[in-house]
Amino acid sequence: MARPTGNRPTSQKSRTTRPPVPAMSGGAAAATVDAPKKKVSPGQFFREVRAEARKISWTSRKETWITSVMVFIMVIITSLFFFVMDLVLSGGVNWILKFASRG
């Protein structure tokens, strides 16, 4: 089903910009003053890191292997494409130079 024109996808969030910071006297730019960050103990930090690490969905060994093989195949195909294109273009340039040197 086609999406009506003019509508933005819902997955994109609108971007907001900060208002410009007024310059200090003497032409120097004022430093932005953010609210002080809440201090967290090292134990709390590591608990939060572990909680976030549990949310990660790791790929299986099979998925990693298949993806690696696909990348390897694409590298070979791409390198062959550029090798052939290099041969074609260098042959064309040599032909043009030989044609130009005759006259």
Task: Please give the average per-residue pLDDT across 42-54, as a whole number.
Answer: 93
Average pLDDT, the chain: 81
Radius of gyration of the chain (CA): 29
Q: Per this entry, what is the length of the chain? A: 103
pTM above 0.95, yes or no: no
Residue 31 pLDDT exceeds 60 = no
**Alpha helices (H) in the chain, listed in sequence order:** 42-54, 61-102
CA angle 91, 97, 98 (to 5 degrees): 90
- At residue 78 the predicted structure's pLDDT band, cuts being 50, 70 and 90, is very high
Q: Give the HSE-up count for residue 8: Cα atoms under 13 Å, Cβ half-sphere.
A: 6
Residue 88 pLDDT exceeds 80 = yes
Query: What is the model's pLDDT at position 70?
Result: 98
Q: Give the HSE-up count for residue 17: Cα atoms under 13 Å, Cβ half-sphere.
A: 3
